[in-house]
């Protein structure tokens, strides 16, 4: 039985604290591209290992980087001067049980499919070049993904934390980005790109929502058209937010704040491909959204990047996801819990379902006794750890979104 420490947090929930800052990066942001591509590659590689040799072999693809390209744009068009470069780094198994595994080809196909699904204007081989810097793992670490041993030993000494519920600010930035990158908005605004960043600043009950969203140079023929479409997009977003329960009473919306009227194409946010990675910004795995979809400065945060990691033995992925799942279950099932944080820490070599530390911190409603909360929360954590193999299978299947 896992020993779970459960304690009361003597502080108000984040929603009731005086200040809050929350951010979300859309699928076209360079950091989100990195997370999305390496996770798609990890899912595909895990599936191929299992298909070819019967089990998931040792790999970790979480050291990916996107180097920005170079582009020239004008109203009505432009061209790429130098392509973006995606660097796949870290470790993989190229030969297992007598079978050769075409790791680079598997990853390339997965990356191509991700771009087709999420950034269809980006053409691999022309707009982005792949660079593979993958090497076999050390024999010692390869033993952390053994065939037929359940549960596997932890690949790392690491820790993770998750929380529930989302605050109003967190729900607001999620809703805003998903709307702007959603099918309905894109059908009305096909002249906008996917590199969307939403940040909420809250002071007491006043919210400032700052949004960055590129417009496509090929669809934008003049400065006046750009500012007209920008105003229409801002009104569409505000109309959507107005009908949400997350809509705060005082909301100030700013879209593309760097724009400089009168500077022509140099003073507005234009892209050719829908992402600033074409020449404005590089990206790196782990700098994007946490596994619950937001970056919240008021919350404790795991140091590990979940995207691209091995789904069988790497606690940097398993615990990252599991902590948020357990926190949500405790919040929903345990009466009197207003806000909850779940912490898990591993020791390398120990079974993944036996963490070195497991803890729950809860903000509790007045009058609620901790004895019942301790008993119920501990049981939920123990049950989640006992079924961690189910989470591993879901990650292999790609049914858990982690960015």
246 located within any domain: yes
Q: Is the pLDDT of residue 142 over 80?
A: no
59 located within any domain: no
Contact 339, 14 (CB under 8 A): yes
Provide the number of structural domains found in the chain.
1
Q: What is the CA angle 33-44-351, rounded to 5?
A: 100
pLDDT per position as a tens digit, 315-367: 999 999 999 999 999 999 999 999 999 999 999 999 999 999 999 999 999 98
Task: Report d(CA 24, CA 295) in Å as an integer.
Answer: 6
Residue 209 pLDDT: 97
**pTM: predicted TM-score of the whole model, two decimal places:** 0.96
Task: Report d(CA 109, CA 14) in Å as an integer.
Answer: 42
Domain containing 181 equals 18-25+168-284
Contact 42, 398 (CB under 8 A): no
Residues 6+ apart with CB under 8 A from 30: 66, 68, 195, 275, 276, 277, 281, 282, 283, 284
User: HEC profile for 374-388?
Assistant: HHHHHHHHHHHHHCH
Contact 256, 233 (CB under 8 A): no
pLDDT per position as a tens digit, 39-86: 999 999 999 999 999 999 999 999 999 999 999 999 999 999 999 999
293 located within any domain: no
264 located within any domain: yes
- Distances in whole angstroms, Cα of residue 22 to Cα of each of 103, 289, 321: 37, 10, 19
226 located within any domain: yes
150 located within any domain: no
Query: Residue 147: which pLDDT band, with cuts at 50, 70 and 90?
Result: low
Phi and psi dihedrals of 58, rounded to 5? -70, 130
Kindly provide the residue ranges of all beta strands, DSSP E only, lying in 313-403, ordered along the sequence: 337-345, 357-364
292 located within any domain: no
105 located within any domain: no
Query: 252: domain CATH number?
Result: 3.30.300.340
């Amino acid at each position: 039985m896992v020993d779970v420490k459960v304690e009361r947090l003597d502080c108000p929930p984040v929603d009731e604290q005086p200040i809050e800052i929350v951010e979300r990066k859309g699928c076209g942001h360079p950091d989100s591209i990195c997370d999305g591509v390496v996770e798609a590659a990890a899912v595909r590689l895990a599936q191929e290992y299992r298909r070819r040799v019967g089990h998931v072999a040792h790999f970790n693809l979480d050291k990916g980087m996107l180097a920005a390209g170079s582009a020239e744009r004008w109203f009505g068009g432009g061209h790429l001067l130098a392509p973006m470069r995606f660097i796949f780094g870290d470790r993989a198994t190229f030969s297992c049980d007598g079978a050769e595994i075409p790791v680079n080809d598997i990853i390339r196909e997965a990356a191509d499919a991700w771009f087709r699904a999420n950034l269809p204007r980006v053409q691999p081989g022309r707009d982005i070049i792949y660079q593979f810097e993958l090497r076999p793992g050390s024999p010692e670490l390869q033993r952390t993904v053994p065939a037929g041993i359940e549960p596997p030993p932890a690949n790392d000494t690491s820790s993770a934390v998750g929380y529930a519920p989302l605050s109003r600010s967190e729900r607001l930035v999620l809703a805003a980005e998903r709307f702007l990158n959603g099918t309905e908005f894109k059908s009305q605004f096909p002249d906008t790109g996917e590199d969307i960043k939403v940040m909420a600043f809250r002071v007491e009950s006043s919210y400032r929502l700052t949004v960055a969203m590129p417009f496509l140079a090929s669809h934008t023929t003049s400065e006046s058209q750009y500012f007209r479409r920008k105003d229409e997009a801002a009104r569409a977003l505000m109309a959507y937010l107005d009908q949400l329960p997350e809509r705060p009473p005082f909301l100030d919306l700013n879209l593309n704040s760097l724009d400089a009227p009168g500077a022509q194409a140099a003073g507005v946010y234009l892209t050719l491909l829908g992402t600033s990675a074409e020449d404005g910004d590089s990206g790196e795995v782990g700098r994007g959204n946490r596994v619950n979809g937001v970056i919240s400065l008021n919350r404790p945060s795991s140091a590990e990047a979940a995207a691209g990691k091995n789904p069988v033995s790497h606690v940097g992925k398993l615990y990252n996801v599991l902590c948020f799942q357990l926190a949500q279950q405790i919040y929903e099932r345990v009466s009197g819990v207003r806000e909850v944080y779940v912490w898990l820490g591993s020791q390398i070599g120990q079974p993944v379902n036996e963490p070195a530390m497991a803890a729950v911190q809860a903000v509790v409603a007045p009058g609620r006794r901790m004895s019942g909360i301790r008993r119920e929360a501990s049981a939920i954590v123990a049950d989640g750890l006992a079924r961690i193999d189910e989470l591993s299978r879901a990650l292999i299947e790609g049914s858990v979104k982690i960015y």
